[in-house]
Structure 1
Amino acid sequence: MRVHDAIIDITQVDLNHVIADIDAIRRCNPQRFEMEQLTAIVHVDLDRHVCVGYKDVTRDEFWTRGHMPGMPLMPGVIMLECAAQLCSYFTQKYDLLGADMVGFGGLDSVRFRDPVIPGDRLVLACRLLKVRRGRIIFSRFAGWVGQALVVEGELKGIPIPVDALRPSEDAPTSSAPR
């Protein structure tokens, strides 16, 4: 990412100043158990629509045994999930989309620059570029380990129709695959 394109100067963010811990994140994001991919939120700038958080990557992550045996590397798709959860947290915390839940709408210009391994702290920043309330959010994101940029890209978030996805009591149960 070119310097003038930077979302934020990550060296100026106090990573020890937690403004939302896992319990606060859970109030905004629905993911639980293995799919919780944020540890804390450490910076919010409402004027610039910027949010910074991190994921402490541990040896106990669900993917460490199989990706890759003897050399665990955080899968790129999990890095993207971390970024999506950061964008979702910011969007939901401040009710920017007007939705019960935010889901992936698309990814563009994604680049993986360096590996992330157990013991790393993946620091993520997102900036909402455009919000069409009730329809879509457009954002940029970046992730660092230390000072090294490890992932960056653009993400779209869309409202998820939670009520429409819940099975009704009258709906027949089916064991057939979708």
Structure 2
Amino acid sequence: MTKQVTTHDNALEKADLHEIMKLLPHRYPLLLVDSIINIDGNRSAVGIKNVTFNEPHFQGHFPGEPIMPGVLIVEGMAQTSGAIGIRDLKLDKPALVFFMTIDNVKFRKPVVPGDILEYHVKLIKQRGSICKYECTGIVGGEKVAEAEVQAMLSPSDAKSRGK
């Protein structure tokens, strides 16, 4: 059964870096969300990534012309989506989020050090622990990337799965 997306008039919430780290197992250098604002349950939110020159991928992508790799932009979108999905489950420890599909990816403009990258995510559909989000990357009011990401939220840790 697919859960239809509806909007609610609840006050929008936010999550700082400390809360994000309680929700997701990711850590530097692969944690790509600094804060999340405008959280409306698991329905929508805006993740914020302050892009800085000292991030390790800029050493090789590209020397003298640093550009954030597109795959990391999509990962940041997925982390924002996963964080609000996990937050909605109200767990007491981080959960894992497993990518299932990444569709309709488009990159429109480069993201460079000094940019504030916003990951706008909106739930398209949910079936059990599987969620699909429409995601848009925005810098300075301009669309820089877009994608649809689908993932499975897994509240159990690796030890409980026998690994």
Q: In which range does the TM-score fall when normalised by the shorter chain?
A: 0.7 to 0.9
Preserved CA contact (<8 Å) 2:36 2:48: yes
Look up the match of 2:38: 43
**Which structure ranks higher in relative contact order (CA pairs < 8 Å, sequence separation ≥ 6)?**
2
State the shift of 1:117 in Å. Answer: 0.3
**Letter matched to residue 164 of structure 1:** R
State the shift of 1:92 in Å. Answer: 0.2
Look up the match of 1:33: 28
Structure 1: where are the runs of 5+ without partners?
1-16, 167-178
Are 1:95 and 2:89 matched, yes or no?
Answer: yes
Deviation per residue, 1:67-115 (Å, 9 max, x gap): 011101000000011001000101000019xx93212111100100000
Preserved CA contact (<8 Å) 1:18 1:40: no
**What's the TM-score, normalizing by structure 1?**
0.76
The structure with more radius of gyration: 1
Structure 2: where are the runs of 5+ without partners?
1-11
Are 1:64 and 2:62 matched, yes or no?
Answer: no
**What's the TM-score, normalizing by structure 2?**
0.83
CA–CA separation in structure 2 for the residues paired with 1:51 and 1:129 = 13
Query: For the structure 1 residues 126 and 165, does the alpha-carbon distance in structure 2 shift closer, same or farther, using more than 3 Å as the test?
Result: farther
Match for 2:107 among 109, 112, 115?
A: 112
CA–CA separation in structure 2 for the residues paired with 1:41 and 1:100 = 17
State the shift of 1:133 in Å. Answer: 1.4
Which consecutive segments of 4 or more residues in structure 1 shift more than 2 A? 159-166
Taking only aligned residues, the RMSD between alpha carbons, in angstroms, comes to 2.1
Look up the match of 1:121: 116
State the shift of 1:18 in Å. Answer: 8.2
Aligned-pair identity in percent equals: 32
Are 1:140 and 2:134 matched, yes or no?
Answer: yes
